[in-house]
Chain A
Amino acid sequence: MTQTSDQAGSAAGTGQDAPGIADELLGFLAARTKSTWEHDQDLFAVGGMSSLFAMQLVVHLEKTYGVTISGADLMLDNFRTVDAMVRLVHKLGGSRASAGATAGE
């Protein structure tokens, strides 16, 4: 029933190489959390992000890279760091092209 306010940005075509995905995720995190993160920093360490934010990351990856994250992949360890999320997207064969849409920023 709720509507997503998903304004398509102009960020398409950044490529789906690992640095491209990592940069996009670091940008997403910076925008959402108003602070900067390292690619290997544990987002959920004490004082870090909440479990509800973890679900935002899942939805973001699914929308942005056209992947479906389920089963054993749906575990917090896959979202702890930007590096882990890049590995997951690669493993699932995700890319911006396969998402067919740009990420809403």
Chain B
Amino acid sequence: MTDNTDSTDNNAEDPLVVVGAGVMGTAIAALAVGHGHPVRLIDHSPEACAAAPERIELHLRTARMMGALPAGGRLGRLTTAGTPDAAAGAAAVIEAVTEDPGEKAAVLAELAAAVRPGTLLVSNTSGVPIEEMAGAVPHPEDLVGVHFMNPAYLIRTVEVILGPRSGAAAATAVRELLAGLGREGIVVGDGPGFVTSRLLHRMLNDAIEVVREGRAGPETVDALMRHCIGHRTGPLATADLIGLDNLADSLRVLHERTGDAAFRPSELLLEKVRRGELGRKSGRGFYTYDYEEITP
């Protein structure tokens, strides 16, 4: 799939650049190639770049199986690169690196330097305020937030964040980008965790606390939340899907910016991260997963 099978049509368009080939970056790349757009995927980890084509192929198979891709559509071409200068010539850039505000600011600055001014810059951050990152780029009007949900190729609705300095042209460009990806954006205001992470992450953290206290095990908490409350996946299974390292990072971002103790990462969560139990992506978290090679 990396090798383009149809160089005839849509790959003439400028590539969508996705930065960070982790859980979200590979899923967003799959979403884009599945909608026929050429994608350049950038990650500083050679291992992540090497693993990306196969992970994306699995995402695409899952998406196809669920009928989540345009029928009979051609795939866009996927290329990978190791440095942000490969963003030159991008139609738009989606940043999906680790939830580390300093890292994100540095990467966004490098990306902004590589692209034409006026190129849409999107951060897929879970909770770093867009205004905070706007300070790192020369043209803050080009920057918006799009909080793609996980898995990005299955969940059609995304949270769009326009910061105080996001420009009208960027607002239009992001609407077009999402239309081309078959996504529906819901626009919200800026601030730590926006709407979804602000609400979800405190609940996930508290669910982990319930497990730590021994009041109920992961299966029980998830069963109650699914069957009584109507949560589709259950909080502990959701934490495993997100990745426990990313959940801890995201909680830390929220805790530092709000002072709200509900966001202080649970000691059980931190312990799991220290043990390398990162959820689906490592094969073990609150549950165990035997087929780690297929975990998106």
Residue numbers of A with Cβ under 8 A of B are 1-5, 32, 34, 47, 50-52, 54-56, 58-60, 74-76, 79, 104
Contacts and interface: CB of A to CB of B under 8 A. Distances in A.
Interface in B231-247: 232-233, 237, 241
B65 A2 contact: no
Contacts of A79: 65
13 contacts: A2-B51, A2-B292, A3-B293, A4-B293, A34-B219, A47-B226, A51-B66, A52-B295, A55-B62, A56-B294, A58-B65, A76-B67, A104-B290
Q: Chain B: interface residue count, which band?
A: 20 to 34
B198 interface: no
Given A5-B283, A47-B227, A52-B296, A74 B61 contact: yes
Best-surrounded residue of B65, B154, B232 (most CB of chain A within 10 A)? B65
A30 to B, nearest CB: 14
Interface of B: 47-48, 50-51, 58, 61-62, 64-67, 151, 154, 219, 226-227, 232-233, 237, 241, 280, 283, 290-296
B217 to A, nearest CB: 11
Contacts of A104: 290
Nearest to A71: B64
Contacts of B50: 1
Given A52-B241, A54-B65, 5 more contacts: A3-B293, A4-B293, A55-B58, A76-B67, A104-B290
Nearest to A78: B65
Given A47-B226, A47-B227, A52-B241, A3 B65 contact: no
A75 B62 CA distance: 9
A16 to B, nearest CB: 22
Contacts of A51: 62, 65-66, 151, 154
B65 A75 contact: yes
Nearest to B237: A50
A83 B86 CA distance: 49
Nearest to A32: B290
A43 to B, nearest CB: 13
Contacts of B65: 51, 54-55, 58, 74-76, 79
A74 B233 contact: no
Nearest to A56: B291
Given A52-B151, A55-B61, A75-B67, A2 B293 contact: yes
Contacts of A58: 61, 65
B66 A54 contact: yes
A59 B227 contact: no
A104 B48 CA distance: 26
A59 B293 CA distance: 10
Nearest to A63: B291
Contacts of B296: 52
A8 B290 CA distance: 13
Contacts of B295: 2, 52
Contacts of A56: 291, 294
Contacts of A1: 47-48, 50-51
B168 to A, nearest CB: 37
A76 B291 contact: no
Given A52-B151, A74-B61, A74-B64, A4 B219 contact: no
The 6 closest A-B pairs by CB, nearest first: A1-B51, A55-B62, A2-B293, A4-B293, A74-B65, A2-B292
B233 A50 contact: yes
